[in-house]
Structure 1
Amino acid sequence: MADLTVALGIGAAVILMAVLAVRVSVRVGLPSLLLYLGIGVLLGEAGAGIEFSNAELTQALGLAALVLILTEGGLTTRWDEVKPALWPGIALSTVAVAISVGVAGVALHWILGFDWRLALLWGAVLASTDAAAVFSVLRNLKVTRRLVGSLELESGLNDAPCYIAVVLLTSSDPITWKLPLTLTYELGVGAVVGLGLGWLGTHALRRAALPATGLYPLATVAVCVLAFATGQFIHASGLLATYVAGLVLGNSKLPHRADTLSFAEGLGWLAQIGLFVLLGLFASPARLLDAIVPGLVAGAVVTLLARPASVLLTMTPFRVPWREQVFLSWAGLRGAVPIVLAMIPLSQGVDGAYQLVDAVFVLVIVLTLVQGGTLRTLSKVLRLDTGASAREIDVDVATLDELDAELLQVTIPVGSKLHGVYLAELRLPPGATVSLVARDGKGFTPGPTTRLQEGDQVLVVTTQAVRSATETRIRAVDRAGRYARWKGETGSG
């Protein structure tokens, strides 16, 4: 009992320190993973003296955390923002991964003298960009939707092919012509599983009248985790299934969507904190000294050779301007994912695996400082800073089952063209009405001459039959103002 009490106390203290560290990371524009890794190192053998060296457990817990991180990434990725970058994002997460693995493998074979299989294994581990690192940095930058969409899709999708490549290269089985077929099957079936379970989960949640609001976020996350388990069970890509299921669910008209996204975001933070602290705890500072040189060499190869080559060859056919290609090359942030992938050969007893883990640890720290700390400046130098962050009007939905109706809670953001619109000009379809407006901490019943303002929270009661049309109209006015129909804005997509 005493051990449990101590463990819970340490865990709570670590989480509180990590939460406070988020403010520091946001201010300096760096992923908070560095601070979490530092907490883990301080708790480890060189600090508080906690011994932890179980590679298999680290890999298992790391993979579980990665599933939750990808779930949060899929749920919070807006389809209308990534849709223009769909094919470039897919190319970066598939073709570019293959190019990066090949280029890095060849370079590391000649520079560090690795045999071909080990060199390609290093390339596969280092080819994956980290969803947590990319999401935390990019969503604070003011660059174009196409750039953000491409990088978000890449970081959410490329974990799957990198994971498959690492598993195959770790195995002692010979590499044959069946490899491309295996990759195609695992990725294709994984995507289908994610789409199918995401669609089924959406329809089930929209028709269910659960007794408590908090059950909707739990059910949504459970669908994404089920997608991972299903994909893995049928020997497909569970990681891809997880992200795709989250993407489908997050872009559907789910009940209590805002609560679900908030819950998923908190769960994603918890997974990041636990994962990075665990990896910091596993690290051995004494071994890291010997890994500095190979880590820096591998980092230089990936950052200055493999990544630019893969971006150039995959983005040029899409006529991506050279400035955006430079930004895409530099924004391939590494984080916990390469370290988790490096645990796979370590847990299988592959020769040289400890050097790989330690080198990747060094590489992640250095590249996060160098790349993450200069992305904002680079966006300005390349004249890619748009000066405005992307925004989306927040429309939450609650089911009123006994009335066959739904309650929409609309939060009007800064910059919305709903600002200044009279309620009569909103022209909601018959069956929908604005029942309450909350402004400056006070609520009142609006009339036709009430003008909406930025920051208002508006409650709209609508029958289920016109719910979709109501939300579509609200989004159209948010984007184009009171004359949305004249401007051809439909509010869809």
Structure 2
Amino acid sequence: MFIEAFGTDAFVLITAFLLFSGIIAAKFSSRWGLPALILFMIVGMIIGSDGLGIIYFDDAGVAQLFGVFALVLILFEGGLHTKWATVRSVAVPSLSLATIGVVLTSTLIGAAAFLLLDLSLMEGLLLGAIVGSTDAAAVFSVLKERNIKAKMGATLEAESGTNDPMAVFLTLSFIELISNEGSSIWMLIPTFFLQMGLGLVLGVLFGWTASFSINRIRLGSSALYPILSIAFALLTYGITAFVGGSGFLAVYIAALVIGNRELTYRYSIFQFNEGFAWMAQILMFIILGLLVFPDQLFSSEVMYDGIILSLLLIFVARPAAVFLSLIRLNYTFKEKLFISWAGLRGAVPIVLATFPVVDGLNNSQTLFNIVFFIVLTSALIQGSTISWMADRLNLVGPKKDTPHHSIELISMGKVAVEMIQYQTSQESAVVGSRLRDLSFPNHANINAIIRDNQVITPYGETEIKAGDFLYILVESKYKDQVTKELERTVTPIKTGSES
């Protein structure tokens, strides 16, 4: 449609314009404390047919295709950066939120939609299923620069990375029940276990295969290794979905496996995937913004229904699901309250809302507009106040400091050597130690220390201080030993029980 309407050259120009607009929006979102996805979607609505009229776009099928493609890249990038040790510590609560929590949220919102809107029970439950899961793209981007306590951040990221499969399953199941009167909800239960089981098994299999292949295959250029990782991400989703498994779950699990194994060209692969995921996120949200028509979205009926359901989701359904899902799982009242507040909705609900439109269900456009309004409300209210809420609940962790410097490395894949970047904190056991006293193997050397944006040339008597960025050159086989030494923390002295 784009090429037919504008021509190839104009299509390239428009794509460049969208990317520039997205980058500017991301810059302002950081300054204003708003989730970037809001500004991305606003850009799409402004340049769409009801705005400046630059692009007319109403193809839900194309938006769905691009949305799924982008979500695969975003989940893959998020999984690569997730530490297994962190996930393992919150695996049970995260899975409980990703399954029981999604079902409870979907049921409560579905019942409310049935009672409040002019929808059948199945259509109401379909709407509940669509908005039932938190969104990986929104959560990853919002938490990335926020100084939330590690336990909270890990729980939310693990939940958002694993709850999409449940929302997809519920959405497709209700579409099937609405479209096919002969379908039974009991027939869908075996399908659920099949999808999740295949997603888990194939995710681990493809993750191991990808890691093995990247480390063993000798390609002509180091630039091909990041592309190889993307190819494995798409292959994981495609094959898993083709055989009836959960492609999203498989991609996240595969990325988790890859990111926690020794990897040749690790830095290049991670940087490439982060940039590619950002590009996909920008274009995805802008395209989803193009798909909605503001005159329909901001009609009195949609706004009224959307506000009521948004408030019920934020203040009733999500908290109820969180508190019930985390019973006896060692979370304080304040922590549960924060997890409830940080349940952002984003691209996944909007992409899922295109499925009823593509299938031509009755009231599908109404469902899409209400879901879009709920996402905007959630992102605006919750996304912009996460740091404030964490501060109020005393759940703020150490300040995240992103260095304004970088070390560009030549390719060292063939000699199995890596450069580790590590920032110390007040809790790091290595703080106060001299370099000569560290229990590093002989094949690991601290090559540079950056302190207060100044380069410190390290030698044996150099003392490590909190906030230092350490750059350590180490043979890959000794990386775990060095990492364990760096991540040792000072045992805190308990002065009282936690509230």
TM-score scaled by length of structure 1: 0.88
Q: Is the 8 A contact 1:398 1:406 kept in 2?
A: no
In the alignment, what sits opposite 1:312? 323
Give the RMSD, CA atoms, in angstroms: 2.8
Conserved 8 A contact 1:412-1:418:
no
Distance 1:113 1:437, change over 3 A: closer
Which of 318, 339, 350 aligns to 1:328? It is 339
- Structure 2 letter corresponding to 1:13: F
Which letter does structure 1 place at the counterpart of 2:374? L
| Selected match of 1:150 from 146, 155, 162 | 155
CA distance in 1 between partners of 2:91 and 2:408 (Å): 25
Cα deviation 1:216-245 (Å, max 9, x = unaligned)? 211122212111011111011111111111
Supply the distance in 1 between the matched residues of 2:313 and 2:420 (Cα, whole angstroms).
45
Structure 2 residue runs of 5 or longer lacking an equivalent are 492-499
- 1:271-310 CA-to-partner distances (Å, cap 9, x unmatched) read 1111111011111112111411221122122222221111
d(CA) in 1 for partners of 2:334, 2:194: 35
1:45-78 Cα offsets, whole Å, 9 max, x none, are 1223221111111111111111111111111222
Deviation at 1:419, TM superposition (A): 5.9
Structure 1 residues 306 and 110, CA, compared in 2 at 3 Å: closer, same or farther?
same
Taking the aligned partners of 2:445 and 2:152, their CA distance within structure 1 comes to 37
Q: Give unpaired runs (5+ residues) of structure 1.
A: 485-493
Corresponding position: 1:114 with 2:126? no
| Paired positions, count | 471
Shift of 1:160: 0.9
Q: CA 1:27–1:80 in 2, change beyond 3 Å: closer, same or farther?
A: farther
55, 58, 64: which is aligned to 1:59? 64
CA distance in 2, matches of 1:409, 1:179: 49
SS in 2 for 1:184: helix
| Post-superposition offset of 1:390 | 9.1
CA distance in 2, matches of 1:193, 1:473: 30
1:255 touches 1:396 (CA, 8 Å); kept in 2?
no
8 Å CA contact 1:166–1:341 kept in 2: the answer is yes
Distance 1:471 1:395 in 2: 19
Relative to the length of structure 2, the TM-score reads: 0.87
Residue in structure 1 matching 2:348, options 321, 332, 337: 337
Match of 1:386 in 2: 397
CA–CA distance in 2 between the matches of 1:118 and 1:433? 60
Counterpart in the other structure of 1:3: 7
1:80-479 aligned at under 5 Å gives the runs 80-171=85-176, 172-173=179-180, 174-288=183-297, 289=299, 290-389=301-400, 399=412, 401=414, 405-415=415-425, 421-429=433-441, 432=443, 434=445, 436-437=447-448, 454-460=468-474, 462=475, 467-468=476-477, 470-479=478-487
C-alpha displacement of 1:338: 0.6
| Equivalent position SS for 1:373 | helix
Contact kept in structure 2, 1:395 and 1:408, CA below 8 Å: no
Which digits, 9 at most, give the CA deviation of each residue in 1:152-200, with x for residues without a partner? Answer: 1111111111111111111223233122221111011111111110011
Please report how far the alpha carbon of residue 435 of structure 1 lies from its aligned counterpart in structure 2 after TM superposition.
8.8
Of residues 6, 27, 44, the one that matches 1:40 is 44
Aligned residue identity for 1:210 = L
Residue 395 and residue 7 in structure 1: after superposition, are their counterparts in 2 closer, same or farther (change >3 A)?
closer
Give the Å deviation of 1:202. Answer: 1.1
**Kept in 2: contact 1:91–1:314 (CA 8 A):** yes
CA distance in 2, matches of 1:390, 1:194: 33
Contact 1:397–1:409, Cα closer than 8 Å, also in 2? no
Q: For residues 400 and 330 of structure 1, what CA distance do their matches in structure 2 show? A: 43
1:18–1:187: structure 2 CA closer, same or farther, 3 Å change rule? same
